[in-house]
Structure 1
Amino acid sequence: MTLRYRVLLVIQLLLVFHLSILTSQVVTVMKRDGTLNEPLQSLIKPTFNVSWENNSTYQITFTAYSDNSIAYALLVSENIITWQGQQFVIKQSVPNYSGRYNTVAITATHIYLDVRKIFQHNKKDGTLTYSVSDVLSFYLSNNSFGYSFDVKGNFAKKQITDLGGNNAFDGLSQIISTWPEAYIYPDNKKIVVYDKDSFATNLGNRLGYGYNSDNVAITYDSTSIINQLTVISTKKDDGSVYFQPHVVKDDTSISEYGVWDGGDFSDEIFHDVSAADTAAKAKFVTEPAISITLDYLDTDVPIPGEVRRLEILDTGFVTNVMVMSYSYYPLDQTQKPSITLNSNAKTVLDFQRSNKQQLNQAKQNSAALAKAINDASAKLNVISQDGIWYKYGGEDVTTD
C-alpha cells in the first residue's frame, strides 16, 4: 500500500466519521405513508428534548419556526420524526401565531407505543400459566402493523387471569404487573423485554457530586414496605385444606422498620406449604425504596440501564446505581441532562451506612462541643485561694 493510498484512505475514513456524526444529529420528518421524508431545518435547537423513563414514557418535544418548507408543513399529527435511527410519532402539534412569527410545538412519542393499535379480541378465560414470551406472542404474532418482539434473560412462568380482550399495550402493562423485574425497551417496532441482568450495562463510568453531577436529590420512601403476610391454603375438592393459615415474616426488616402487614397470600398452584411460603416471601418489600435524581454536568448521551458508581463523598455515600430515566437536550450543550437512578437493596444499605457515618460523626462533634463548653465553663469559674477570680480572656478582678 503506497503512502498516497494510505493518506487517501485516512481522509475517506475521516469524512465517513464526520458524516456519521452530522447524520446522527439530523432530525427528519416523514409523512405517515413514507412518501415524503425531509430534514427539518427550522428546528429551534435549544427546545429539542429527548426524555425516557423505564416502562413508562419515551418521547421527544421541540419547537420549529415556519420557513415555508415541506418539512415544516409535515409537522402534523401522526407523521413521523426520526432521531438517531429511532422513529417518533407526532401526537401533539400546537401552532402558535405571534408577531408574524409562526411556530409549532411538537410532542412525538416513540413508535413502539403505537402498539396499542393492535387489539386482541380473543380472551383466555380463567387463571392460566404463561411465560413472558407467551404473552408477547398472544398479542403480537401475525400482526399487520409490523411489530415484533424478543425476550432477553430468564423469567419464571407465572399465572394470569383472563388474558386478552384488550390491546397490545395493555398486554405490555400486564407483563410489567406480573413480572415487576421486567424492563421493556424498544428498537423502533421491535419490542424487547429484558430481565435486570440483561438490561444493566456497566461501562466503568462514575457519577461524582461536585465532579460531573450536581443538585443531587435522594428520595427515601418507605410507603411500599411489606414484611409480613398470612399464607392461606386453597381448598381441595372435598373442602379440606393442604395446610393451615400461618404468618410468614422478615424479622430483619421488622426489627428495623416495624411490622408492615401485606394481608393474605393465596395461590391455587401451591399445595406444599414450603413452596407457598417461598412464593409469599418473594412478595416482600423489606427495604424502603431510594430514588436519586441529579443534574449531569457532562455532555455524553445518557444510556438506559447503564450502571454507574455514584459518589457523594461529603457524606460517604458510595454505591452502584442504574439509569432509570433521563431528560436531555442533545442539540444544546448549555442545558445539562437530568438523570434519575434506581433503587435496590444494596443502594439502600449503602445509604443507611452513610447515614450511620454521619450520625456517628455528629455524635463525635457533639461530644467534642460539650467537652469544650465544660472546659470553658471551668475556666470562667475558677476562684483561687487568695480570693482572685480569674476572668477567662479578660483581666484579673480582685475581690474583697
Structure 2
Amino acid sequence: MAKMLDKIVVITEDTREILSSVIPDTFQEQRTVNQNWTISFNAYDDNSVAYSLLVPQACVSWKGQEFVIKQSQPQFNAGTNIIQVQATHVGYEVSRVVQTNVNTGVKTYSVNDVLSFYLSGNQFGYTWEVIGDFPNQQIENLGGSNGQDMLSKIVKTWDNAIFSPDNKNIRIMSTDNFYYDEGKAITYLGNSSSVQLNYDSTGITNKVLCKSEAKEGTGQDGNPPEYYFEPFYVQDDSSIAKYGIIEHNPISDNRFHDPDSMRAYAKSQLQPEATLSIQVNYLMQEQEEIKVGQVRTLIIPEIDLRTKVRVTQTSTHPLSANQASTAQLNSTAQTILDYNNSLRLGFDTAKYNQEDITSAINDAINSNKNAIDKIDSALNNSTSDNTLNVATGTIKLHRSNDIVYVSVNLTNVLYDNPVATFPEAYVPSTQISDNFTITSNGANYIVNYTLSTQGVFQITGIMSLTGEQAQLKQFSGQLNYLK
C-alpha cells in the first residue's frame, strides 16, 4: 500500500481528491537542474471526482510538491476512456509574476536584491529564500520582464546558483548547499545495467582577448575615445600545453571598468577542459531512489574508474516495478581527472603488456630456442580466466593485461579465516588491503579484504555505510586490482 505522500492528489480551492485510476507504468517524473521539473501519467475514467478535475491549470500534488497541469489529452477507444496528463512544478509558474519597472543602468545586486525586486508584494503567493553564499554582481537594466526571466538572469549572473523550488517558495541555492553526499554508489553491473560516457572537446577554449568599453562621454566632437584599460589576454597555460591554443572570441563588457574584475570574468568564460557527460540506467530500489542533487560514487570496474559525480537529471518511474530509471551525471574537474587517469592506466598496461609480448617474440627469434613456447606464453599472459570453487561459494578470476577482476559470490562469510588462495597468475606483487561496495536488500555495504603476496584472499569485515558491522549470510560483489 502506497504511503499518502506517494499518492497523486488533485487540488482545487475547495477540495483535495485522491486520484486512484493512474496506470502505474505510465507515471513518470522528470527533473533537470535549472531547466524543468515535470510529471506525466495516464489515468482511466473511474467516474471519480478526481478524474473529472484533470483539466489544464488544475493542480496535482505528488510527494508533497504541487504541479500545474499544462496538457490533458482525453482519448476514447473501444469503450475505454483514458486521459494523458503532463504537469509542471508550480515553482516554474513564477513566470506569471511580471516586474514592469526597470532599474536603468549598471548597478550592483545581491541574489536577494533581484528576488525582492521581482517578487515583493506579488499576488500569486510566491516567497523566496537564498541558501548559500553569493558575491554581489553587476547587472544592467534589471526588470521589465517576468519571473522566468528573473530566474534566467540569476543563474546566468551567478554560475553557482541552483533553482530548487519548494512549492511556491523560490529557493536559490549554491552548488555547495544543493548537492549532498550520502555515501551511495552507482556500480556498473551492480545497480546500473548500462553506463554511457561522452567525452567532448568541441567547446574547449583556453585563451581570450579582453577589451575595455569606451568611457562614457569620450570619442565625441572628433576627439579619440578613452578606455578604462588597455586590451590584454587571459589564458589557461595547462590547457594550452595539453591541447594547443584554442581562442575564445574577444570579450568586452561595460560592467567591468578595472582589469582585475574583467580578468576574473574572462577566466570564467573559458572552458579549458573537455566535458565528460555520463548517462546511466539505474535499477531503482525503494531505499535507494536516485534524485537530482545527490552526489554518488560512480564505479566502472572494467576501466578501473571510481569517481564522484553529481546527479543533474533524472527520469524515474516510481510507481512501476518494471521500468528502470535513467540519470544524467555531471562531471567535475576531479571526475575528468579520474577518467583520464583510468584511460592512461589502461593505455599503460596495454603498452607494457605489448612490450612484454614483443620482447618475448624477439628473444625467441634471436635465440632460435623454444620459440613457439615463448610466444604462446607471452600471448596467453595477456588474458586468462579461472574459477575457484570454495566451500562457501565461488570466486571467479579474470585477468586482462595486468588488471585482475574478481567476482565474489559467497553464501557464508568466515571472518579471520582465508576464503581462498589465488593461483600465481593472479597474485599481486605487493599486499593489498582495500574494500569494495556491495548492495544487499537495497542497502550499501563496504566489504574490507586483504590479498597477500602468497595469494591468500581474506574477507576481514563487512560494514554498513554508517559504520556498523554487518552479518550477511550471502553476498555478491566485484573488485579489481593491478597485479
Q: Does 1:26 align with 2:15?
A: no
TM-superposed CA distance for 1:338, in Å, is: 1.0
Q: Does 1:113 align with 2:92?
A: yes
Amino acid in the other structure paired with 2:229: F
User: Where does structure 1 lack aligned partners over 5 or more consecutive residues?
Assistant: 1-17, 384-389, 394-400
Q: Does 1:295 align with 2:259?
A: no
| Structure 2 CA distance for aligned equivalents of residues 298 and 372 of structure 1 | 49
Q: Does 1:331 align with 2:319?
A: yes
In the alignment, which of 60, 67, 76 is matched to residue 88 of structure 1? 67
Q: How high is the TM-score relative to the length of structure 2?
A: 0.71
Q: How high is the TM-score relative to the length of structure 1?
A: 0.85
In the alignment, which of 157, 165, 169 is matched to residue 144 of structure 2? 165
TM-superposed CA distance for 1:253, in Å, is: 0.6
| Structure 1 CA distance for aligned equivalents of residues 88 and 364 of structure 2 | 67
- More displaced, 206-215 or 192-201? 206-215
| Structure 1 CA distance for aligned equivalents of residues 346 and 61 of structure 2 | 48
Amino acid in the other structure paired with 1:360: D
| Structure 1 CA distance for aligned equivalents of residues 356 and 348 of structure 2 | 12
Q: Does 1:136 align with 2:120?
A: no
TM-superposed CA distance for 1:161, in Å, is: 2.0
In the alignment, which of 189, 201, 206 is matched to residue 222 of structure 1? 201
- More displaced, 366-375 or 151-160? 366-375
Structure with the higher helix share, 1 or 2: 1
Alignment check: 8 A CA contact 2:206 2:247 kept: yes
- Give the match for residue 183 of structure 2: 204
Alignment check: 8 A CA contact 2:295 2:310 kept: yes
Matched position secondary structure for 2:320: coil
| Structure 2 CA distance for aligned equivalents of residues 270 and 43 of structure 1 | 55
Alignment check: 8 A CA contact 2:54 2:69 kept: yes
Q: 1:376 to 1:90 in 2, by over 3 A?
A: farther
- 1:174-253 correspondence to structure 2 within 5 Å: 174-236=153-215, 239-253=225-239
| Structure 1 CA distance for aligned equivalents of residues 121 and 163 of structure 2 | 20
Structure with the higher strand share, 1 or 2: 2
Q: 1:171 to 1:391 in 2, by over 3 A?
A: closer
Aligned residue pairs total 364
Q: Deviations over 1:196-218 (max 9, x none)?
A: 11111111111111221221011
Amino acid in the other structure paired with 1:22: K
Q: 1:158 to 1:352 in 2, by over 3 A?
A: same
Alignment check: 8 A CA contact 2:208 2:247 kept: yes
Q: 1:180 to 1:276 in 2, by over 3 A?
A: closer
Matched position secondary structure for 1:180: coil
- Give the match for residue 36 of structure 1: 15
User: Where does structure 2 lack aligned partners over 5 or more consecutive residues?
Assistant: 219-224, 374-483
Q: 1:275 to 1:123 in 2, by over 3 A?
A: closer
| Structure 2 CA distance for aligned equivalents of residues 274 and 159 of structure 1 | 15
Higher relative contact order (CA 8 A, sep 6+): 1
| Structure 1 CA distance for aligned equivalents of residues 244 and 292 of structure 2 | 35
Alignment check: 8 A CA contact 2:75 2:82 kept: yes
| Structure 1 CA distance for aligned equivalents of residues 72 and 199 of structure 2 | 38
Matched position secondary structure for 1:261: coil
| Structure 2 CA distance for aligned equivalents of residues 280 and 292 of structure 1 | 28
In the alignment, which of 32, 35, 47 is matched to residue 56 of structure 1? 35
TM-superposed CA distance for 1:260, in Å, is: 1.9
- Give the match for residue 349 of structure 1: 337
- More displaced, 160-169 or 241-250? 241-250
Q: Deviations over 1:201-239 (max 9, x none)?
A: 111111111221221011112222221111223444664
Q: Deviations over 1:55-101 (max 9, x none)?
A: 11101010001111111111111111111111111111011111111
Q: 1:117 to 1:278 in 2, by over 3 A?
A: closer
| Structure 1 CA distance for aligned equivalents of residues 228 and 6 of structure 2 | 63
Alignment check: 8 A CA contact 2:211 2:231 kept: yes
Q: Deviations over 1:176-212 (max 9, x none)?
A: 1212221110110001111111111111111111221
Q: Does 1:99 align with 2:78?
A: yes
TM-superposed CA distance for 1:392, in Å, is: 6.0
Matched position secondary structure for 1:352: helix
Q: 1:69 to 1:278 in 2, by over 3 A?
A: closer
TM-superposed CA distance for 1:269, in Å, is: 5.1
Give percent identity, aligned residues only: 38
TM-superposed CA distance for 1:391, in Å, is: 11
Q: 1:190 to 1:361 in 2, by over 3 A?
A: same
